[in-house]
């Protein structure tokens, strides 16, 4: 952009100021304005695109789909949406590490860019999931594109003797203006078709053949719409589970556990709806709600002279969402909660799309004075990768190593090794899912610092206080 063109875009007030400056000062100011414009454009690009692949992100894709679905409803026309999931990406990560998994994602993204029409939109929705919007596509064209993608991935990407070739599962749904279905219903239909492809053996394409109308709208109500209703109708709540010191037996802190009240009054644990929230792009809203509630509780207890230390779970999506970090920082700045009593847990099994951004997120939390805990340690991919790349204070040992520990030599050796690593790094250890006295005693003997589980304290409604 030239100086002349840049000045043409300035408002009259800016032009008036520039005219009063000397040529040298005018050049400096114009240069600063150009840099500001460039930075603004870069920020817009970052907000709309996935950092790993450069494709559109979920938020931008949903916005474009909303617009096109509305267009077909008003003016007619048709289209297709395709959901593409990489089969077994977790196994690739577990067997070969994070970098080969990222390379596989990039290569599949490259195939998508090369194969789609110029009018099609391609996005990365989550760690292993992509989407394509095909305006004015017929069923034959959508199926042909899906088959081309499936075949090229299956034939072109051997990932190792242990796993064979990479494959994808593809779900496709067609829609038109006559159906009156919203963008969410279209996405849900394509998602269901993709899951059917997985259930039928993976490495295949499934076309959703039912009308994208009432049936899908009802199914959609069981996922993101249900979660949205819970957010707006005050049907979310928190339970607190005590975390005890194994040396003293006293309660050191509490973990907050998200609950949702279903239409029939049943209290649902987070595990029953958190995956749907991740897939629908709403998990960050849930995380913000939990953070806000937690910091209010901490502030109230602080002002009452009864401070409490709380653990707050964050999703992998939130750890790469700058708006979530800004929300946490703002609430800590404006409120009375003590950051030193706040521990944010990031599960090691979460799908973190951008490890560099997530590590920066965690680093910023520690700069604020909060603690960071690696949850589910020992499960999933790359336990040592987490220790190397994430700033953290606490290791929570995954419950799969704790449940049968008194009867399982391998679990005992694993827990001992984790404790030794943590001690060497100067970190705190917490064991999860403690179920009996024998396990408690062994953990104490091994040097684990704290523990939680039904044997040591069941979750209770946090609104009713924090039971010991």
The reply to whether 123 and 69 lie within a common domain is: yes
When pLDDT is cut at 50, 70 and 90, the band that residue 222 belongs to is very low
The reply to whether 269 and 334 lie within a common domain is: yes
Choosing from 177, 194, 221, the residue where a domain stops is 221
The reply to whether 240 and 185 lie within a common domain is: no
In a domain, 269, yes or no: yes
pLDDT at 116: 93
Give the CATH number of the domain where residue 217 resides: 3.30.70.270
* Residue 320 in this model has a pLDDT that exceeds 90: no
The reply to whether 172 and 241 lie within a common domain is: no
**What is the 3 state secondary structure string of the chain?**
CCHHHHHHCCCHHHHHHHHCCCHHHHHHHHHHHHHHHHHHHHHHHHHHECCCCCCEEHHHHHHHHHHHHHHHHHHCCEEEEEEEEEECHHHHHHHHCHHHHHHHHHHHHHHHHHHCCCCCEEEEEECCEEEEEEECCCHHHHHHHHHHHHHHHHHHCEEECCCEECEEEEEEEEEECCCCCCHHHHHHHHHHHHHHHHHCCCCCEEEECCCCCHHHHHHHHCCHHHHHHHHHCCCEEEEEEEEEECCCCCEEEEEEEEEEECCCCCEEEHHHCHHHHHHHCCHHHHHHHHHHHHHHHHHHHHHCCCCCCEEEEECCCHHHCHHHHHHHHHHHHHCCCCHHHEEEEEECCCCCCCHHHHHHHHHHHHHCCCEEEEEEECCCCCHHHHHHHCCCCEEEECHHHCCCHHHCHHHHHHHHHHHHHHHHHCCEEEECCCCCHHHHHHHHHHCCCEECCCCCCCCEEHHHCCCC
In a domain, 187, yes or no: yes
* Residue 34 in this model has a pLDDT that exceeds 80: no
* Residue 439 in this model has a pLDDT that exceeds 90: yes
In a domain, 48, yes or no: no
**Average pLDDT over every residue of 440-467:** 93
Residues 290-312 have pLDDT tens digits of 999 999 999 999 999 999 999 99
In a domain, 456, yes or no: yes
Residues 327-380 have pLDDT tens digits of 999 999 999 999 999 999 987 545 565 677 888 899 999 999 999 999 888 765
Q: How does 317-337 read in b/e, with b if 16+ C-beta sit within 10 Å?
A: bbbbbeebbebbeebbeeeeb
Residue 424 and residue 411 in contact, taking contact as beta carbons nearer than 8 Å:
no
The reply to whether 445 and 319 lie within a common domain is: yes
When pLDDT is cut at 50, 70 and 90, the band that residue 227 belongs to is confident
In a domain, 315, yes or no: yes
Give the CATH number of the domain where residue 420 resides: 3.20.20.450
The reply to whether 193 and 313 lie within a common domain is: no
The reply to whether 96 and 245 lie within a common domain is: no
**Average pLDDT over every residue of 434-449:** 96
The reply to whether 13 and 83 lie within a common domain is: no
In a domain, 50, yes or no: no
pLDDT at 3: 41
The reply to whether 281 and 411 lie within a common domain is: yes
The reply to whether 210 and 235 lie within a common domain is: no
Choosing from 188, 221, 254, the residue where a domain stops is 221
pLDDT at 378: 72
When pLDDT is cut at 50, 70 and 90, the band that residue 466 belongs to is confident
The number of distinct structural domains making up the chain is 3
Residues 182-204 have pLDDT tens digits of 787 888 888 888 888 887 888 89
Choosing from 202, 221, 240, the residue where a domain stops is 221
Give the chain's radius of gyration (CA, Å).
25
The reply to whether 216 and 235 lie within a common domain is: no
In a domain, 118, yes or no: yes
**Average pLDDT over every residue of 155-168:** 67
- Angstrom CA distances, 360 to 121, 328, 384, 439, stand at 30, 14, 18, 36
In a domain, 43, yes or no: no
Range of the domain at 188: 56-221
The reply to whether 194 and 307 lie within a common domain is: no
When pLDDT is cut at 50, 70 and 90, the band that residue 35 belongs to is low
pLDDT at 345: 94
């Amino acid at each position: 952009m030239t100086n002349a063109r840049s000045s043409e875009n300035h408002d009259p007030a800016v032009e008036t100021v520039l005219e009063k400056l000397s040529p040298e000062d005018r050049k400096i100011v114009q240069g600063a304005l150009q840099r500001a414009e460039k930075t603004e454009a870069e920020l817009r690009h970052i907000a709309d695109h996935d950092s790993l692949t450069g494709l559109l992100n979920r938020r931008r894709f949903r916005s474009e789909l909303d617009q096109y679905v509305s267009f077909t409803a008003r003016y007619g026309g048709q289209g297709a949406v395709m959901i593409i999931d990489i089969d077994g990406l977790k196994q690739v990560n577990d067997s070969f590490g994070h970098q080969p998994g990222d390379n596989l994602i990039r290569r599949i993204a490259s195939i998508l860019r090369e194969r789609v029409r110029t009018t099609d939109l391609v996005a990365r929705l989550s760690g292993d999931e992509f989407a394509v919007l095909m305006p004015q596509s017929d069923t034959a064209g959508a199926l042909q594109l899906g088959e081309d993608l499936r075949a090229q991935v299956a034939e072109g990407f051997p990932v190792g003797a242990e796993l064979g070739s990479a494959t994808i599962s593809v779900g496709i749904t067609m829609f038109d203006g006559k159906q009156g279905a919203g963008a969410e219903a279209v996405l849900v239909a394509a998602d269901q078709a993709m899951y059917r492809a997985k259930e039928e053996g993976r490495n295949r394409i499934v076309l959703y053949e039912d009308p994208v109308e009432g049936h899908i709208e009802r199914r959609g109500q069981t996922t993101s719409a249900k979660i949205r209703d819970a957010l707006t109708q005050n049907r979310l709540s928190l339970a607190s589970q005590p975390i005890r010191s194994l040396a003293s037996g006293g309660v050191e802190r509490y973990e907050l556990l998200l609950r949702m009240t279903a239409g029939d009054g049943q209290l649902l644990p987070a595990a029953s709806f958190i995956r749907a929230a991740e897939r629908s792009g709403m998990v960050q809203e849930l995380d913000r709600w939990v953070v806000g509630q937690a910091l209010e509780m901490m502030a109230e207890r602080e002002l009452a002279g009864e401070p409490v230390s709380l653990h707050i779970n964050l999703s992998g999506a939130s750890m790469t969402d700058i708006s979530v970090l800004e929300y946490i920082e703002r609430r800590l700045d404006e409120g009375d909660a003590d950051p030193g009593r706040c521990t944010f847990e990031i599960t090691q099994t979460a799908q973190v799309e951008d490890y560099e951004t997530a590590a920066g997120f965690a680093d910023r939390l520690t700069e604020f004075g909060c603690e960071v805990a690696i949850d589910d340690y020992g499960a999933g991919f790359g336990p040592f990768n987490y220790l190397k790349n994430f700033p953290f204070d606490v290791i929570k040992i995954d419950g799969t190593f704790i449940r049968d520990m008194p009867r399982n030599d391998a679990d005992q050796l694993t827990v001992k090794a984790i404790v030794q690593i943590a001690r060497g790094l100067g970190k705190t250890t917490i064991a999860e899912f403690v179920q009996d006295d024998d396990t408690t005693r062994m953990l104490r003997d091994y040097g684990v610092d704290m523990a939680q589980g039904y044997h040591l304290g069941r979750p209770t409604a946090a609104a009713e206080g924090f039971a010991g």
